[in-house]
Structure 1
């Protein structure tokens, strides 16, 4: 297998991702309310130490699939609606539908904030749209001292159109946040944080049309690759980011009460 085929997802990878988004086999239902469903899956036998996968599906009856796709791509708009973002930027492009980018986000105190470098790829297929990523290493963007470098094993979105203003968004995440996190963090992410984040995306979609009209309305390089100004990155500059090569920060003893106290004192 060549380096290129190893790194850049092909049609089979997109098809496999879509299939997993739709499958419920091996998943445990953890949240089910109006228009929102969450499943989790434990990878490995030790519930305390194993990684978890999370899948969150939201039905949006007032958002076109095309708008959802634009919102998830538009990095400038993300800085406006995503309150958790610390810094996000594109590093360079690989192909017309693959690039490399940086994203850092706030974690609830006293947990340390996280960041990630990912290879992101996307594919519109008729009425479906897929965006997915996984972690890579780039020599110019090493881990920072004040952040924990997380690892996306595979994370992404599947948007499915059900009519002019009706779509379903499925978020699938297999992430190693690094650090031995307290169990309450894992539980909270599936019961509270994931649904809340999805609802923020839905609300952001409702305001996107008006915002985009005032901010370079014709600029959508994810639809029109000839518009991109990103430098091309040689694949040889990248390698897969493996979790075991990063420092492991033990945050397992941090209590939820500590987190609330820290937050209240800000």
Structure 2
């Protein structure tokens, strides 16, 4: 995480070097980046301009797990496990994949950092002794995932989403391609639409409660750093899904993972 934080989010998100455009339509752009190791998971980078949504509001949307239940139709369950510092915690997230693929879940260490009028949120997968892989879900691995929210005036922002996730399960190539072509742009548009509706929703739902902004509101129990370890993909069982037939429609966004 330290190496990610110490790299400029501007250069990491805005530099075109090494990225290949996979999708550019409807205000959303998706790039992919091949890795040196042919077996390594691709990196994906996404960008969307969010008009009429401030950077501060979008930052709240991504943090607010109560609101996420309203807009993230792919989510099965999400909850905070515990806190490490005033701007770092450990959490759980599971999401629905279209049948016959198995559903996925993550345990991640997340950190966030206000950068003047901009914001950075990053995570990577960890192992927690009380939250081992479940038999009914495939434990996926976030190698490096981050949101960079760049203010673009008082009431507009640009959202970048950079992710390198190993979904495990021996997914066929067409599934990976569909993520970059259809699922990823839909996920970005969902966050944008959620941002437009958030201020009105928040006014009616504990408007002053924002523990990601006000650490004194955080009542989570502390997590001992010694209890955590980086979750490595090769330590997890591979579930063979390579025989899945290519039937998922463009409207099916059940493969998405937004945090």
Q: Indicate the TM-score class for this superposition, using the shorter chain for normalisation.
A: over 0.9
2:4 aligned with 1:13: yes
Assess, with a 3 A threshold, how the Cα gap between structure 1 residues 64 and 23 changes in structure 2: closer, same or farther: same
Partners of 2:201 and 2:131 lie apart in 1 by 31
> Which residue is 2:256 aligned to?
none
Q: 1:167, 1:88 → 2: CA distance?
A: 26
Task: Between 13-22 and 36-45, report the one with greater CA deviation.
Answer: 13-22
SS of 1:118's equivalent in the other structure is strand
RMSD of aligned Cα (Å)? 1.4
Query: Normalized per residue, which structure has more helix?
Result: 1
Q: 1:237/1:17 Cα in 2 relative to 1: closer, same or farther (>3 Å)?
A: farther
Residue pair 1:119, 1:134 contacting (<8 A) in 2 also: yes
Q: Which residue pairs with 2:31 in the alignment?
A: 39
Q: CA deviation at 1:14?
A: 1.8
| CA apart distance, 1:13 | 2.8
Give me the TM-score of the superposition, normalised by structure 2: 0.92
CA distance in 2, matches of 1:202, 1:106: 21
Residue aligning to 1:4: none
Q: Unpaired segments of 5 or more residues in structure 1?
A: 1-8
What's 1:26 paired with?
18
Which whole-Å CA distance do the structure 1 matches of 2:70 and 2:26 have between them?
Answer: 27
Within a 5 Å distance, the mapping from 1:68-83 to structure 2 comes to 68-83=58-73
Match of 1:139?
Answer: 129
- Deviates further, 110-119 or 176-185: 176-185
**Paired residues, what number?**
249
Trace 1:243-258 onto structure 2 (pairs within 5 A).
243-257=233-247
**Matches of 1:84 and 1:16 in 2, distance apart?**
31
How far off is 1:17 after superposition? 6.1
Mapped to 1, the partners of 2:36 and 2:134 lie a distance apart of 29
Structure 2 unaligned regions, length at least 5: 253-259
